[in-house]
A = this chain, B = another copy of it.
Amino acid sequence: MAELPRIISVDDHVVEPPTVWTDRLPSRYQDVCPRVVRAPMGEITFVGGKLTVAPGSQGAPTDWWYYEELRRPLLRLDSAVGVPRDEVTMRGITYEEMRPGSYQVGPRLEDMDANHTEASLCFPTFPRFCGQTFSEASDKELALLCVRAYNDWMVEEWCGPEAGGRLIPLTLVPLWDVELAAAEVRRNAERGVRAVCFSEIPPFLGLPSVHDPHQYWDPFFRACEETGTVVNMHIGSSSKMPSTSADAPPAVGSTLTHSNATYSMVDYLFSGVLVRFPRLQLAYAEGQIGWIPYILERADTVWEENRGWGGVAERVPEPPSVYFRRQITGCFFDDAHGLRSVDEIGVDNITYESDYPHSDSTWPRTREIAEEQMKDLTDDQRERIVRGNAIRLYGLDLG
Contact = CB atoms under 8 A, between A and B. Distances in A.
A201 interface: yes
Given A244-B264, A244-B266, A248-B270, 4 more contacts: A85-B309, A209-B248, A211-B249, A256-B262
B302 A294 contact: no
A341 interface: yes
A282 to B, nearest CB: 15
Contacts of A259: 259, 262-263
Contacts of A303: 251
Contact of A249 (B244, B294, B312): B312
A18 interface: no
Interface in A31-87: 85-86
Interface residues of A, number: 60
A376 B337 CA distance: 19
B270 A244 contact: no
A290 B252 CA distance: 19
A161 interface: no
Given A85-B308, A293-B337, A294-B291, A302 B254 contact: yes
Interface in A233-277: 242, 244-252, 254-256, 258-259, 262-264, 266-267, 269-270
Contacts of A245: 201, 203, 209, 211, 267
A86 B211 contact: no
A63 B334 CA distance: 54
A344 B334 contact: no
A335 interface: yes
